Structures are given as C-alpha cells and as structure tokens.
Chain A
C-alpha cells in the first residue's frame, strides 16, 4: 500500500530491508534457542499438597472473586473418623453437625453416617472458600486426607498465579496440562 512501485530503491528502503532481515534472523535465533525449552502442551498451576503449610492465603489471594482453590478429599486416605479433626473445631460441644461445632467457616463439609462408627466427609465446592482450616486440622491430628487443589474448572490459569506469589509454603508448581492435579493417594507402605 505504501511503497510506491515507481519509487527507486532508495536508502531508506534498503535500510528497512536490511533491518527486517536482521530482525528475522534474530527471531530465528530466538526460536532456535527456545526450541529445546518449548513444551507443546503447556502448563497449569497446581498445589503440591506435601509443601502446603495451610497458611490460609489461598482463600484471599486468588485473582478470582471466589478462589479457584478448593479443598479436595482423598477418600482412600481418610479414616472416616467419628471425631474428625478436620470437621470439628477443637473441643466441640458435641459431635453433631451443628454449625458451632464445625471448623469450616462456611459449613462446606457434609458429614454423612456410613456405618458404625464411620462417617463420610464430603466437600461442597460451591461453599468451600479454600481457607485450609479443615486441611490443617486433618493434617495435624488426622490422616491428612483433606488437602487443597487448584480447581481447573474455575482457575483462569494466570500467567503468574497470584497465590503462588504469596504462598507461605512455596507450594504452587506448574504442572503439565494433561496431568493437572497432584492428588494424595493411599501410601503404599502402611
């Protein structure tokens, strides 16, 4: 549109072409350098449950109004305890589902009777704010079957995760997009 075809090759056109060639060479060199460091798949953010120190920042530091981090329950690790230290606050009045007994500020954990003396604990993700209170209780005194994970149906996969920046345990890692969770599993030795 711009270079007039009648215009003779002048100094500016020549300089422009030279700069273009130089820049394209630079881009090529960059590509070559990056070839080894490029992953076809891409990555997403995830919490390494082994590193999380339950500092509670997951609830507040996410860029989303409602944190993308939620509590996840590894049922296979759970002891189905009647006195769940992730569910009940310290020294509960009684072992019932009354709110004042619960550790969770939003009553996001559903406690269901399975069989004597076992209870199942299920996280209602709509209510969970990812505050890690239950995770702390469960890890301190229980089996550690409750843990936090970035839920990828909510996470917008920020270039730099805003929670990773402040996470006290430095627990946020980039994981390959086809293995987006770091779930706790039953320990093989026990």
Chain B
C-alpha cells in the first residue's frame, strides 16, 4: 500500500515537473539476473516474396498469350484464371495489383518523396506492354478481379448498345479521377472502391461488401460488369490495344461469314463484317464527323471550366485540407472530436500551408480532369462516326478480353481441331 502511494506521489510529482520527459520512472537495475526481453520483429512478406509475385505475373502473362494464340484453348484459360484467382486473389489478397498500380505511378510522378517500388512498376507496365502488342491477355486469365467475374458468368445477356456505349465511358472517368486523387496525395480511390477485393479478404466495409455482392450478382447475367463499366486499368489497356499488332481472331483460317459466332461473345466484343451492316449515306456521316471534330475543342474547354469549378469541393476530400478547415472553424466553434486537431493546434503553420498547396494542386488537377472528361466524350462521338471496313467477323480488340469463348463456335475452327469429320471439310472445299 505504502509503495503504491509512493509510486503515485512520485508519478504526480514527475507529471507536474517534467511532463514531457520520456522516462518518468527510471528503468530498474535488476538484482535477480533478469534479462530484458527484446520485442520481436516479424519480417514483412514484401521482402523477398514480392519478386515471387513478379515472376508469377510474368509467367502467367506468357502462359495466357500461349493459350490464347497457340493452343486457343478455353479450358486452359479457365484453368489459368482459377490459378490467378487463387494466387493474386485469395493468397495475395488482391494487393499488389495492376489496377491500383496506376495510382502509385501517378503519385511517384507528382510527389518526389514517394518512391515507387520496382515491383509495382512492373505490375503497371507488363500487362500494358503485352496489350500494346497482343491485346488484353492480362484480362483473359491473369487479373484476379477479371477471373472471379468470368467464372461466375452463367447466362450472359446482351447489353444494348445505347446502354453499353455510355457506361463504357465510366472507366475513363474513373481513371482520370483516380489519377487526380493519387497525384495530389489525397488517397487511392481505385483501391478504396474496388468492389471485388472484399471477396479476396473476406472482409471490408458494409458499402464495399454490398457493392461487391451487387457486382457479382449482376455478373451472373452481364459479362464482367466491373471490367466493362468501371475498371480504370481496363481503360488504359483498351487504349493500348488501339496499337496492337496481333489480334485475337475467331479462327486463324478463313472466316466463311457463317455468322455462327455472332452472339458467342458475352462481352459484346464481336463485330460483324461491314458488308452486313446498314449504313447511312456517306455524305451524312462526313458532315457529322466534321461537326464532332469542331465540337471536340469546345467539349474539352467546357470540361476544363467545369472541372475548375469542382476544384474546391473536391479538395475537401483531402485529409489535410479537411483538417485545416476544421481547425479554422474550431477557432470560433468548438470541434466535436478534438483529438484529430491536436497536431494542428500544436503547430498550425505547416498544416495550413500544406492545405493551401494542396488546394492549388487540386485547381490544376480538377481542370485537367474536366478537360479529360471533355476529351473522352468528344473522341467517343468522333469514333462513333468513323467507318471501318471489315471483311470478317472479328472481336474488337479493345473490348475483347481474349477469353476464347468464341473460338469453339466457329465451324472452321472445329474442323481445324478435327471435331468435325474431315469429309465435311473436303465437301466444303469442293463447293
């Protein structure tokens, strides 16, 4: 009892006198030969194993390319998808991932204090480079988000074009917003609003779990809704495929235009030969193209103006800006949760200056974002007017996930694989 009182008194004394001293009670000198334990420091997995992730990624990409272009096997793609889902999804819990890497790259470009891990850079670049040459092999069987959606798809319904086209623009906007937020150091929106990661972790906020369930339920009937209507990395890959050298084809042999593959793509990627399409007169479409070309700078300008108007509300999502605002308000009306304000009250100058700096960054970022939105819409209008000539049925490389479903519906492909007796083929070639 006495000792306890002594301790208390001693403590109070020290509290009043040297409140800031680290050690109020001097560590004892033990007489019993007691050895001080040291705190354990379990090593992070990121040490060596992060290179394992890179090796798995590159091998899976190579394997996916081989499965799509050489063996052309849907079964192989499914098997690889299952593996990727197990490894990148359930084992790695969806982190490190190519989708989120966009933000790390943006942050590294804009913040000199942030060092981009080389593994994240590889996750960003490898699928993109592959897409630049051979389409979205990453989406086919490597991305765990893609895989989980692909595997739940049981009865694909067709999304009408009037819905598909505008929804298909959302990924570009999400990409722009994600980059803008990451570059200003305001957080990683793309990670925060990834609806499928909660499945990999069996945990998440109610909102995200709800969204994830909604996406997977929709995914039973609409092929890969996240990939088509939200995924920002998919938007980048889609852009990259514009330059792709090799394209996924329903059959490497000749297309006989039998139209059997027409409805085989659950993602609406199949394009019919232009000869089979109804077209408006050339003059009308030329006129329309000219209008939209002239409209493009107007849209970009309007977007930029609109974006700059959004800068102030958007900057409030930044924690530092929010904190500075709360601090300023707390000077007049007391704050309800003052704990957060402690570090500002201790030294308000730097926080207020930082908040102002971030507001300026947001002004630039939001203007650029607005311009980007205008550009996306303008270019979409223009691309809708462009006429392309196609002689065969072929998947649009930007939309095609290289899932290999359409291959097996093609009679030429079936003959090539020997699934249809050879007599039929000779009969056909005699025709």
Contacts and interface: CB of A to CB of B under 8 A. Distances in A.
Interface of A: 1-3, 16-17, 19-20, 22-24, 27, 30-31, 33-34, 37-44, 51, 53, 55, 63-65, 72-83, 85, 95, 114-115, 117-118, 120, 122, 141-144, 151-153, 155-160, 165, 168-170, 174, 177-178, 180-181, 183, 186-187, 190
B78 to A, nearest CB: 20
A162 B36 CA distance: 34
13 contacts: A2-B247, A2-B249, A16-B243, A37-B116, A44-B46, A76-B27, A95-B4, A115-B34, A117-B3, A143-B23, A157-B44, A159-B100, A160-B188
B331 to A, nearest CB: 19
B412 interface: no
Given A157-B44, A187-B22, 15 more contacts: A1-B248, A2-B247, A34-B116, A39-B118, A65-B202, A76-B27, A77-B23, A77-B27, A83-B8, A85-B11, A120-B34, A143-B25, A153-B42, A170-B343, A186-B23
B426 interface: no
Contacts of B276: none
Size category of the binding interface on chain B? 35 or more
A79 B50 contact: no
A1 B28 contact: no
B277 interface: no
B154 interface: no
Contact of B7 (A3, A77, A83): A83
B32 interface: yes
Interface string B30-66: 1110101111011111110010000000000000000
A41 B117 contact: yes
A102 B411 CA distance: 75
A40 B15 CA distance: 46
Contact of B339 (A30, A38, A168, A183): A168
Contact of B243 (A19, A33, A181): A19
Interface in B203-256: 203-204, 240, 242-249, 252
Contacts of A19: 242-243
B45 A157 contact: yes
Nearest to B36: A75
B116 to A, nearest CB: 5
Contact of A152 (B43, B121, B125, B249): B43
Given A44-B44, A82-B7, A144 B118 contact: no
B105 to A, nearest CB: 7
A174 B188 CA distance: 14
Contacts of A55: 339-340
Contact of B4 (A83, A157, A183): A83
B128 interface: yes
Q: Is the interface of B mostly helix, strand, loop or mixed?
A: loop
Given A16-B244, A159-B103, A51 B343 contact: yes
Q: Which of A16, A95, A144, A165 has the most CB atoms of chain B within a 10 A radius of its CB?
A: A16
B26 interface: yes
A75 B37 contact: yes
Nearest to B43: A152
B25 A81 contact: yes
A131 B129 CA distance: 45
Interface in B97-111: 97, 100, 103-105, 108-109
Given A143-B22, A165-B187, A2 B248 contact: yes
A84 B45 CA distance: 35
Query: Which residue, B105, B115, B246, has most C-beta atoms of chain A within 10 A?
Result: B115
Given A42-B118, A63-B201, A77-B22, A114 B30 contact: yes
- In the complex, the 9 A-B pairs of residues with the closest C-beta atoms, listed nearest first: A79-B25, A42-B117, A39-B115, A19-B243, A153-B42, A152-B44, A160-B188, A20-B243, A2-B247
Given A55-B339, A157-B45, A42 B112 contact: no
Contacts of B27: 76-80, 143, 186
A152 to B, nearest CB: 4
Interface string B55-81: 000000000000001000000000000
Nearest to B100: A159
A75 B7 CA distance: 19
B340 A3 contact: no
Contact of B245 (A3, A43, A44): A3
Nearest to B239: A23
Given A23-B132, A64-B201, A183-B39, A38 B7 contact: no
Given A55-B339, A74-B39, A158-B95, A20 B121 contact: no
A156 to B, nearest CB: 5
B119 interface: yes
